[in-house]
Amino acid sequence: MEKDIFGHLLDIENSAATLVFDAQVEADKRLSAAGADAEKEYKTEYEALIAEFEENFLKEKTAVDDGIKNEYEKFGEYLFALKKDYKKFEDYLNSYFFGA
């Protein structure tokens, strides 16, 4: 009878170990699936943010480029409108380079 009790207890322990192993396998599967889902969601959100940032960057860059172009045009108009005194410029160059 003792052998039957020990045998029965070993069977119960074996069943418990099998249940624990099966539970661990199932937990690993669920964790893996949850990790894959989280990675997929992260990638989707990341790509959406990058697209939004890139769109905003391009808008701002275009605005800055247009502003720079306008400033250069204004400066060019200013330079063109300046009175040019070629004689004075020539005298300055001669004095600078030749000491005359």
pLDDT tens string 10-22? 999 999 999 999 9
Q: The domain containing residue 40 runs over which residues?
A: 2-98
Residue 51: phi and psi, rounded to 5, are -65, -40
- Check: CB of residue 60 under 8 Å from CB of residue 66: no
C-alpha 84/C-alpha 78 separation (Å) is 12
- Reported pTM: 0.53
Alpha-carbon Rg of the chain, whole angstroms? 41
AA letter at 20: V
Q: Decide if 94 contacts 100 (C-beta within 8 A).
A: yes
- Place 26 in a pLDDT band, splitting at 50, 70 and 90: very high
Find all residues with CB under 8 Å of 87, minimum gap 6, and list them.
Answer: none
Q: How many domains does the chain have?
A: 1
Return the amino acid letter for 53. Answer: F
Distances from the Cα of 21 to the Cαs of 11, 18, 26, in angstroms?
Answer: 15, 5, 9
Q: pLDDT tens digits, residue range 41-57? A: 999 999 999 999 999 99
Task: Say what the pLDDT of residue 48 is.
Answer: 98
